[in-house]
Amino acid sequence: MGNIFRKAFIKSIPIMCSYLFVSMAYGIMMENAGFKWYYSLLVSLTVYTGAYQFVLVTLLSSGASILTMALTAFLMNSRQSFYALTFVDEFNRMGKRKLYMIHTMTDETYAVNCTLPDTGKEKQSIMFWVAFLSRCYWMIGAVAGGILGQIIPFDMTGIDFCMTALFVIIFIDQWEKAESHIPAIVGIVIAVLCLLVVGQQYFLLPSLLIASAVLVVWNMRRK
């Protein structure tokens, strides 16, 4: 038991560095937008998905429609379905821990899970503790960020740019791996057009819908 926990902790160290930092930025951004630390904790506890949590701050504070939130969550987090798909068999064998494993799968824990050697029960326990620890890091950072945001003596205006920076980095990663750059270019062009036509208040929803539709058609037509 102690041995498995130690292995899981070592596997989770890279996640710890990134989660504490990013979720602290999230907590500060929430505080800056007028949401107290317990809202950061609530969102981290129930939604628990990095990039979308940042977008949700902006959506909530700009008074976006619930439909916009649902669709944005759907499109941003649909990748989770593909992650889960990889581990259907494994999680099905985990009994009571199954639901917890489904809820706590993120980009980072998925990546770590993929590196684990197949050791049956031991692997399952390591996956569980990695998921558990990662979720703790994320919640600790979010709460710490919220409290830090209250006591930081100087003006934190502009801290929300950490969301933009995070997305730019994800975008570059995807760009470097991509076989075709058409999906990325479609996204930029459609979003800019919608922004110019519809205006900044409401352009997110039409942008996501039109860009996804174009991608579905493009995806069906290519070999």
* CB 1, min distance to other proteins, A: 27
Q: Output the six-digit token pair for 105.
A: 């799968």
> Shortest gap between Cβ of 149 and other proteins (angstroms)?
14
Q: Give me the helices (H) in 33-180, please.
A: 37-46, 50-61, 66-77, 79-86, 88-92, 98-103, 107-115, 121-151, 161-177
- Can you tell me which of 74, 121, 150, 152 binds other proteins, judged by CB under 8 A? 74
Tokens read off for 118? 């197949």
Nearer CB in complex with other proteins: 7/64:
64
CB of 18 to other proteins, least distance (A): 6
Measure Cα distances from 45 to 35, 123, 168 in Å.
15, 25, 26
Residue 37 half-sphere exposure, CB side, CA atoms within 13 Å? 15
Which residue spans within 16-86 are E strands per DSSP?
none
Please give the structure tokens belonging to residue 116. Answer: 């684990």
Letter for the amino acid at 36?
K
Measured at the alpha carbon of residue 76, what is the angle toward residues 73 and 80, in degrees to the nearest 5?
Answer: 95
**Minimal distance in Å, beta carbon 66 to other proteins?**
6
Among 85, 96, 153, 197, binds other proteins (CB under 8 A): 85
Restricted to residues 121-180, the positions that interact with other proteins (CB under 8 A) are 157-159, 161-172, 174-175, 178, 180
Binding-residue total with other proteins (CB under 8 A): 88
When binding is defined by CB under 8 A, the residue of 2, 46, 115, 221 that contacts other proteins is 46
Closest to other proteins by CB, 132 or 187: 187
Site string for other proteins, 97-116 (x = CB under 8 A): -----xx-x-----------
Is residue 184 near other proteins by the rule CB under 8 A? Answer: yes
Which residues lie below 8 Å from residue 26, measured CB to CB, with a gap of 6+?
A: 40, 44, 53, 54, 57, 141, 142, 145
Taking the complex as a whole, the smallest distance from the CB of residue 83 to other proteins amounts, in Å, to: 8
Of the candidate spans 3-11, 61-69, 118-126, 130-138, the one that interacts with other proteins by CB under 8 A turns out to be 61-69
Of residues 6, 59, 112, 143, which one binds other proteins by CB under 8 A?
59
Residue 14 and residue 1: Cα distance in Å, rounded?
22
Residues 3-32 that bind other proteins (CB under 8 A): 17-18, 21-22, 25
